């Protein structure tokens, strides 16, 4: 009497479905993470109670020594407008100001005036309290 099963169980484990799952999770976390690029220049930002996250296209940094940087490239005060004009892709761009808290307000107003003249939105970077 021959009592053998017709269905044989395969003892091998396929990792293909596990790698697909890990790959999908990796894609999910990459797409849902925030796309904020921090400014590479060390400035002491002022603090605020409420702050919103702005997608950063053009970053203007003013250090405590009144040195101006556009996207980590040092520029002079006189060439700031030309550099911003070349970095902004037409009107309705976004300029994020990273200004040290010891810098006089007139420098912030100067940079914001140039950005407004170029029809860009101005956002001031702060650190949360």
Q: Which tens digit of pLDDT belongs to each residue from 92-103?
A: 788 888 888 888
Report d(CA 66, CA 60) in Å as an integer.
Answer: 12
Q: Residue 8: its pLDDT value, please?
A: 73
Please give the pLDDT value at position 37.
56
Each residue of 22-61: pLDDT tens digit? 999 999 888 887 665 555 566 766 666 666 665 657 888 9
pTM: 0.60
Decide which of 71 and 53 is more confident.
71
- State mean pLDDT over 71-76: 88
């Amino acid at each position: 009497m021959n009592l053998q099963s017709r269905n044989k169980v395969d003892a091998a484990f396929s990792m293909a479905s596990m790698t697909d799952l890990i790959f999908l999770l990796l894609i999910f976390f990459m797409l849902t993470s925030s796309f904020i690029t921090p400014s590479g220049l060390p400035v002491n930002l002022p603090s605020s109670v409420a702050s919103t996250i702005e997608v950063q296209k053009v970053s203007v940094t003013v250090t405590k020594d009144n040195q101006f940087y556009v996207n980590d490239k040092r520029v002079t005060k006189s060439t700031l407008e030309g550099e911003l004009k070349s970095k902004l892709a037409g009107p309705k761009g976004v300029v994020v100001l990273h200004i040290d808290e010891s810098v006089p307000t007139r420098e912030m107003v100067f940079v914001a005036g140039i950005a407004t003249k170029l029809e860009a939105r101005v956002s001031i970077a702060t650190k949360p309290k």
